[in-house]
Amino acid sequence: MKEMLFEGSACALVTPFSADTKDVDLSKLQELGEFQLRNGTQALVVCGTTGEAATLTYEERCACIRAVVETANKKIPVVAGTGSNNTETAVRLSNEAEKEGVDGLLIVTPFYNKASQDGIIAHYEYIAQRVSRPIIVYNVPSRTGVDIKPQTYAELAKINRIVGIKEANGNISSIAETIAVCKENIAIYSGNDDQTIPIMALGGKGIISVSANVIPRTMRSLVDLCKNEKYKRAADLQKEITMLEKALFADVNPIPVKELLALCGFCENEVRLPLTNNATIRNLLSEFVPMIPKIR
């Protein structure tokens, strides 16, 4: 098997914005990164979907990546979201992230274009030939409009630079087939928090988690239990956090998780258009505040 970027629980970090200027709050981003380090998170993912990368300027993305790399200080890997539906743009973003010192690249499938399976393979091959860091492929068809098939993964797994998959297609049968055809040639991470246990039971290596923004220690415990094949205890822990995870997806990610972080005093409850705050979920999320560890 290729060397993994990480094994265990990674946090898909939010990007905090200031309430007055709506600018990226880099100091808060670093505080959130430090909170993750203190609570056992095993990798940090910056500028992903949860980080609202689609609304960040090129300069803001570079600044966020730089800030998280500085915070991690080589203690745990940093993975930067550098995907695009323009293959050349994905290369450019990836090269810039590499200059900032990231350990790996999270590259989402090309969205909107609706590439064929052959087009998806060509997209990743082209990028892989032009970057120097390991790549995690990100499959999230609910957002992109395309779904990577198991046999396509088998081809992607042959590319040396591609070492992992963040799988968020929600289809356990498809994920089982992917693991079967790829064997040990690629690491699979759950892209849906509530599917961590079945994916790891099938041979997955961890989770890239939204919930870890607010319960990092719990997510670390969950993957540790799965890694040690203590699935009964993992299931019991999952039951304790299921309603929280459901609430965190009561609206489009990252609207709810930012609301809960704000309720806990971690950062401002600011998202960028076209996302908007949802006051109706505030009461729903407020009951979970006692579950959340303090940032300091």
Tell me which residues are annotated as active site: 138, 166
**C-alpha closest to that of 70 among 34, 106, 96, 43:** 34
Q: What φ, ψ does residue 41 adopt, rounded to 5°?
A: -65, 140
What three-state secondary structure class fits 133? Answer: coil
**C-alpha closest to that of 208 among 191, 227, 196, 222:** 191
**C-alpha closest to that of 295 among 36, 19, 102:** 36
> How is residue 102 annotated by DSSP?
-
Residue 45: burial class (beta carbons within 10 Å; 0-12, 13-18, 19+)? buried
Q: How many residues does the chain have?
A: 296
* Separation of alpha carbons 148 and 169, rounded Å: 9
Q: Which tokens is 13 given?
A: 């970090």
Contacts of 276 (CB under 8 A, 6+ apart): 255
**C-alpha closest to that of 71 among 100, 104, 106:** 100
Question: What is the largest distance, in Å, between two alpha-carbon atoms of the chain?
Answer: 51
Radius of gyration of the chain (CA): 18
Q: Which tokens is 161 given?
A: 């630079």
**C-alpha closest to that of 193 among 6, 37, 7, 10:** 10
Taking CA atoms, 28 is separated from 41, 65, 249, in Å, by: 17, 13, 23
